[in-house]
Amino acid sequence: MRITREILYKIAADTVAKRVRTDRSLLAVYLHGSLMDENPLLGGATDIDLVFVHDDNPPEGREIEILTDEVHLDIAHHARHEYRDPRTLRLHPWLGPTIVGCKILYDPQHFMDFTQASVGGQFYRPDFVLQRGRGMVEHARQMWFSLHGMTADPTAEDFDLYLKAVEHVANGIASLEGPPLTERRFLIRFPKRAEAVEKPGLYAGLIGLLGGAKVEAGTIESCLDGWQAALDSIAMEEIPAGLHPGRQSYYRRAFEAMLEGEHPHDVLWPLLRTWTSAILQLHQEAVERETWKNTLEQWDLMGSGFHQRVSALDAYLDVVEETMETWGVKHGA
């Protein structure tokens, strides 16, 4: 199947038309994510990100619908009350940029038209931009405090918290020059955001936080079997939407494309994020946990190396916080 943006848009429109005929609670539907880009495909695969806004509380928060091996629907379900205060949404680091940049597909009551216009008003005012970025960095600092001073061996939960801190601090910088970075393209797009704030070295630092100094491309590729085994071992009733079996090709194709490209270390973020998420669903004695732990210890991300990474995160946060202050002064925020 030849996949084009036009075909993907038609799939999105047809999906919405079908759902609104059967679900009377739907107030609005909008499109966001990779399909808003000129080239939504990575490794020949993509998802179609939709948000369904309901009049009342929806029965589920997220659903995955597999269309082909290359394309699936990723549908988030929101309640109307989540959009009650546009001024608050304007400062929300994730939902705010999503609303401002989305494409509205269904909105008979003009609910999303009004919301998008209200949130978009002064959205790019420097002090609002800085508030959104600082909020993420402050959250990252709070997570660092939870990890700082640990003496016990780190657990998978500790490493998951570490990754969340890394995500927030990186997106704090990224949000000064655009919307937050998404999972598969996280490291692909970060360099331009770092360059835009005149801190290109933040990319190398971010790779270091993810163990890049210890990892070669061939080593990463050899870990994909362990990643696959972890995902395959999750009990069906425990699988979170983000690790839906139908999304494995979506990730695997992206991994392979990045490993064959000029910057193979860009695969580290989506690989570590999804692998760790899978590990958290497995029981403590699972052999897949041991494989994951041994790999991360070799990369100085677990064991004694974890404490070094936490110290490095502290230094990285310092640089980012200083960069935020400089950006604020430069832009009068």
pLDDT at 191: 98
Are 142 and 93 members of one domain?
no
Are 76 and 210 members of one domain?
no
Closest by CA to 218, choosing from 160, 175, 157, 259, is 259
pLDDT at 214: 80
Are 11 and 38 members of one domain?
yes
Which residues, at least 6 apart from 108, have a Cβ–Cβ distance to it below 8 Å?
none
Instruction: Return the exposure string of 151-187: e unless at least 16 CB atoms fall within 10 Å of the residue's CB, then b.
Output: eeebebebbbbbbebbbbbbbbbbbbeebbbbebbbb
Q: Among 75, 101, 120, where does a domain finish?
A: 120
Q: In angstroms, rounded to a whole number, what is the distance separating the alpha carbons of residues 38 and 40?
A: 6
Q: Among 120, 145, 174, where does a domain finish?
A: 120
Token reading at 139: 């959250």
φ, ψ for residue 288, nearest 5 deg? -65, -30
Are 165 and 17 members of one domain?
no
Q: How distant is the alpha carbon of residue 164 from its chain centre?
A: 10
CB 108 within 8 Å of CB 101: no
What domain count does the chain have?
2
Identity of the residue numbered 92: H
What residues are paired with 31 via a beta bridge?
A: 50, 103
In the chain, % of residues over pLDDT 90: 92
Token reading at 295: 């790999």
First to last CA, the chain: 49
Domain extent at residue 113: 5-120
Are 243 and 293 members of one domain?
yes
Are 57 and 145 members of one domain?
no
Are 155 and 112 members of one domain?
no
Segment 198-250, tens digit of pLDDT = 999 999 999 999 999 888 888 899 999 999 999 999 999 999 999 999 999 99
Least confident range from 151-155, 164-168, 173-177, 317-321: namely 151-155
Closest by CA to 94, choosing from 112, 80, 76, is 76
DSSP 8-state class, residue 155: P
Are 76 and 220 members of one domain?
no
Mean pLDDT of the chain: 95
Are 64 and 132 members of one domain?
no
Are 72 and 189 members of one domain?
no
The CATH number for 71's domain is 3.30.460.10
DSSP secondary structure, 22-64, as one string: H-TTEEEEEEEGGGGSS---BTTBEEEEEEEEESS--S-SEEE
Are 69 and 138 members of one domain?
no
Segment 150-171, tens digit of pLDDT = 888 999 999 999 999 999 999 9
Per-residue pLDDT for 303 more than 90?
yes
Q: Among 120, 140, 167, where does a domain finish?
A: 120
Are 81 and 153 members of one domain?
no
